[in-house]
Structure 1
């Protein structure tokens, strides 16, 4: 999975005023990221508001991204849920010929224990597809502990990457320190990207990176080259906007940034709503400092 290193971006789904999918803006966003150094694209993740897209819309988004990308960057497709058998079946029946891996979030709401999480990913591994484990306790309500991740990584080679978004950065370091050869950790937290990469991580699946692809990619490449001071200069430049975009949840903040850049329109589907006027003003002001 050497293709999936550096900076991948979790693409938003742009909408028109009538809340139909804005494919023209999606094309602009893809081209902007390809032209500015992003390493791979993630389609239909949480940031894409995938939970509010119909099955037909999801397929249209997938087809559009594949067409616009035209083989230029590796692609990752989000397929996850809290019904293990359904997720497994979806992975088995989806045409993944254009994709290098599946990103699959750990089950949410059910709150399985560690053995349940292990059994869930064991079942997905049986599909034989390359799968990125996605641990994001703030959304799922349950942390996939480092010991469980390492158990999965050692037993199932096609569970080849984890997108780690635990709130405790020590968990990232434990996985990096103990992981088997060939298993990669990507940060799932934009602000942790630099220290995690310097510690031996392989980059990030980023939200803010799709608005500042050149800067974020440069930061990660500098980190991989051991140029710590130069990397932290970029990190410090982006840290405030990175924090601001998550103040009222994702993706309302990143959509505000991209709308200010003229790349997309600032619309979200309920139950999500656009950033408040106060937050939008703060975002707009901080953008002038970058």
Structure 2
């Protein structure tokens, strides 16, 4: 399987004021990122508020993304959980698995499994589905960290485990994987703040939240880093660093949805237990956007 390089976008799920999915907003968002040089799309990740979507809603979201994308860019499907048997059933229920480049599967949350438990979880998924899996490590949400040794063990033992979205926020952890991984295993930054160190250390790119607000800039930044044009890559990063910081100030996707509302892509509505961005956040964002230089 060919590797995914560059910038992937962790798409939000736009909502209307009444809480229903805003498919017009989703269509506008997909067109915006596809037409502004991103490399692939990620549906139903954490940023999509997947935890609050009903089963039918999830597939309506995926179908909408597929229709608008029309096979222009590879599509990764977020599908994971803390019940191994259910994850396997869900993957096996997908009729057209070939429509997706890979499944992005989060480490089991809340159960707080041991490293061996995490290993056995992903082993069972691969053994019983045959899907290509990208591990998703996001300890601040799951409560447990997939340690580099566990990632490497999975990478070497299963050819269908093709990469890791590393969102621990610890660049050293990414480097330990990069130093020792199989050649065809992808290390993808799952954290906008450490995209450049991960790419410069040998990573393939990023699955980004901010890229749906600045698709062209983030794609350009990652391409420059991969071409070793470090100074120019960092000039883009520093130009939007404060806004990256701001989109996480009131949580994700509250911040990015506030930004997308400001730039006219979709509304900023979220579902409980999340709350919409405060007027204070919006005001700070508007001030920062005025300061950002055109790149």
Instruction: Place the TM-score, normalised by the shorter chain, in its bin.
Output: over 0.9
Alpha-carbon displacement from aligned partner over 1:218-266 (angstroms, at most 9, x marks no partner) = 0000000000001000011111111110111100000000000010011
2:38 is the alignment partner of 1:38? yes
Query: Where does the alignment leave 5 or more consecutive residues of structure 1 unmatched?
Result: none
Output aligned runs, 1:23-62, within 5 Å. Answer: 23-62=23-62
2:55 is the alignment partner of 1:80? no
**1:7 and 1:217 in contact (8 A); partners too:** yes
Whole-Å Cα distance in 1 between the matches of residues 131 and 137 of structure 2? 18
**2:126 and 2:161 in contact (8 A); partners too:** yes
**1:3 and 1:74 in contact (8 A); partners too:** no
**2:191 and 2:208 in contact (8 A); partners too:** yes
Moved over 3 A (4+): none
Paired position in structure 1 for 2:98: 97
Pick from 141, 147, 150 the counterpart of residue 139 of structure 1. 141
Whole-Å Cα distance in 2 between the matches of residues 167 and 45 of structure 1? 17
Tell me by how many angstroms 1:210 deviates.
0.7
Query: Where does the alignment leave 5 or more consecutive residues of structure 2 unmatched?
Result: none
Root mean square deviation of aligned Cα? 0.9
Paired position in structure 2 for 1:199: 201
What secondary structure is seen at the aligned counterpart in 1 of 2:37?
coil
Output aligned runs, 1:175-214, within 5 Å. Answer: 175-214=177-216
Tell me by how many angstroms 1:167 deviates.
2.6
**1:15 and 1:22 in contact (8 A); partners too:** yes
Paired position in structure 2 for 1:108: 109
Paired position in structure 2 for 1:165: 167
Paired position in structure 1 for 2:65: 65
* More moved, 1-10 vs 50-59: 1-10
What secondary structure is seen at the aligned counterpart in 2 of 1:97?
helix
Alpha-carbon displacement from aligned partner over 1:41-89 (angstroms, at most 9, x marks no partner) = 0001110001111111111111111111111000000101000011011
Tell me by how many angstroms 1:3 deviates.
5.0
Aligned length in residues: 290
Whole-Å Cα distance in 1 between the matches of residues 246 and 99 of structure 2? 34
Tell me by how many angstroms 1:176 deviates.
0.6
**2:169 and 2:194 in contact (8 A); partners too:** no
* More moved, 149-158 vs 280-289: 280-289
Paired position in structure 2 for 1:227: 229
Whole-Å Cα distance in 2 between the matches of residues 251 and 2 of structure 1? 30
Paired position in structure 1 for 2:126: 125
TM-score (norm 1): 0.98
What secondary structure is seen at the aligned counterpart in 1 of 2:291?
coil
Paired position in structure 2 for 1:18: 18
Paired position in structure 1 for 2:158: 156
Whole-Å Cα distance in 2 between the matches of residues 2 and 16 of structure 1? 38
